[in-house]
Amino acid sequence: MMAMPIINMVQTGQKIEFLRKEAGLSVKELQEIFGFGTPQAIYKWQHGSAMPSLDNLLILASVLGVTMDEIIVTDEIPTSGISA
């Protein structure tokens, strides 16, 4: 049996919020950096109800001074091998 990684969206959201605060940025400031009309996307990221797109994740990592791997929190789920 092998394990497959899955993104833990809630913990990733908590990590985004922690890193944002650690960087001294407000939600409003991130909203302006991304050019969003409202802060809803950032709140969804932080609550784990949505994930940033790959492009936005790359920008977020750069803005926060971390790698994308440092933002994403993964869990391992066991999977059974596919038999032929």
What's the distance, Cα to Cα, between the start and end of the chain in Å?
Answer: 15
CATH architecture type of domain 2-74 = Orthogonal Bundle (1.10)
Quote the CA–CA distance of 4 and 53 in Å, as a whole number: 21
Please list the pLDDT of the chain residue by residue as tens digits (84 residues).
678 999 999 999 999 999 999 999 999 999 999 999 999 999 999 999 999 999 999 999 999 999 999 999 999 888 766 555
Other beta carbons within 10 angstroms of residue 60's beta carbon come to 22
Residue whose token pair is 């994740």? 57
Q: Which two tokens stand for residue 67?
A: 């790698």
Give CA–CA dist 82/80, Å, rounded.
6
